Amino acid sequence: MYDFQTFVNRREQGSIKWEIAKRVYRGDSERLVALSIADMDFLMPPAIVEAVRDAADRLVYGYTMPTQAYYDAVISWMSRRHSWQIEQSWIAVSPGIVAAINYAILAFTNQGDGIIVQMPVYRPFHASVADHQRKIINNALVRNGKRYEIDFDNLESCAALPDTKMLILCNPHNPIGRVWTYSDLEKIAAICTRHNVMVVSDEIHCDIVFKPNVHTSYGHLPRELRQNSIVCTSPSKTFNMCGLQVSNNIIENSGIRERFKKTANNCGFHGLNCFAGVAGIAAYNESEDWLDEFLQVIEDNHKMVSDFTTKQLPKLEVFPLEATYLQWLNFAAFSFSTFDRERLLHENGIFFESGHIFGEGGETFERLNLAYPKTVLNAVMNRLAEIM
């Protein structure tokens, strides 16, 4: 029904993904393929395009706050898609989840406090901790073959440290593509509750989960385990609207919620931009069938990459994809180095997200964005096979 085969050319449009790649690439720009930052190069859901166009036609772009229709759309989506009954008063909007994480760090920790992250993990987690002069405590994920698991004994030790105040959880996990189970979350929550450690659960990829896996929100846990938490959600990754900058942070505990909102206000955030709300309504109310089709496209792309490597690059480890549209690739068998990454880029125009930016454990990895037409990914894999 929808077009996922047309390549949207975002060169020279200020796209962060393409601009970063272009600035370091020395070859023909038409050969360059930026496969790094997590946004899509697909056509947008039509309902969102129409909603933004209609809003633009009003010709007044003033200060905007969430409408009742917006809150209703968020509540309905969480109920319909995730069987999670939330209340309107729990929702605190922000211009993205990275912003929300920074607000939480500022609101609930002090300089020198410890914050747990689980590397390899999305770079802004540990970068935000360091930027605010907090201490990074790494509860490193453990590889069991091609599956990562949480080291709960180590997590207990990390949480028990006297200065540990917060855990930033990636659920589902980027870049490894894991969906944490109810049992995983229950163990995390029990440990953090025991040691009075707040959990900030980044669930931006919660809608991009592949069967038979099912996303479990931190908010699904029993009330006594979820009270000291913030659950960060957003339509941005799901519907490729990151540039509209809107996230819904679900905070059941009223004291935590008011402190979070006060910190956001002190940082100068006063509401949504004038297109974010209407786009969010169109996403949640009118674009669910687009999402279902998108999920199948990503599954097919993952299978194509996996099948290709089995035949053409058997030494390249392709990790299972339970969630996200981000493929974790291990080049360890090739003694992958900075020089090899340079060859990928400057000789072949392939710009992945280097695994080392995700912290300890990512050094031999690259992250591949699967949200491209299959023809583009197939051409990239053939180029890769030529040099490896």
Distances (CA, A) of 23 to 33, 129, 210, 351, 369: 13, 28, 35, 11, 19
The 10s digit of each residue's pLDDT in 66-99 is 999 999 999 999 999 999 999 999 999 999 999 9
Write out residues in the chain with pLDDT < 70, as ranges.
336-339
Distance CA 173, CA 143 (A): 14
- Show the tokens assigned to 151: 């080291």
Task: Provide the residue type at 335 as one letter.
Answer: S
The residue written with tokens 């031999």 in the block is 364
C-alpha torsion 95→34→40→11, nearest 10: 80
Distance CA 278, CA 287 (A): 13
Closest Cα partner for 230 from 254, 265, 207, 262? 254
Burial class (CB in 10 A: 0-12, 13-18, 19+), 186: middle
The 10s digit of each residue's pLDDT in 142-179 is 999 999 999 999 999 999 999 999 999 999 999 999 99
Distance CA 5, CA 168 (A): 36
Residues 6+ away with beta carbon under 8 Å from 361: 119, 120, 140, 141, 143
Closest Cα partner for 69 from 86, 88, 56, 53? 88
The pTM of this model reads: 0.96
Residues 6+ away with beta carbon under 8 Å from 311: none
Burial class (CB in 10 A: 0-12, 13-18, 19+), 100: buried
- Show the tokens assigned to 240: 């490729």
Q: Look up residue 209 and give its DSSP letter.
A: B
Closest Cα partner for 39 from 62, 15, 67, 58? 15
Residue 194 contacts residue 220 (beta carbons within 8 Å): no
Taking residue 92's Cβ as centre, other Cβ atoms within 10 Å add up to: 21
Mean predicted lDDT score pLDDT of the chain: 95
Give the domains, in start order, of the chain with CATH numbers. Answer: 16-44+288-387 (3.90.1150.10), 51-286 (3.40.640.10)
| Residue 338 confidence (pLDDT) | 62
The 10s digit of each residue's pLDDT in 21-36 is 888 887 777 788 999 9
Closest Cα partner for 116 from 98, 128, 100, 106? 128
- Show the tokens assigned to 263: 């910190």
| Residue 387 confidence (pLDDT) | 80
Residues 6+ away with beta carbon under 8 Å from 175: 120, 121, 122, 324, 326, 328, 353, 355, 358, 362, 365, 367
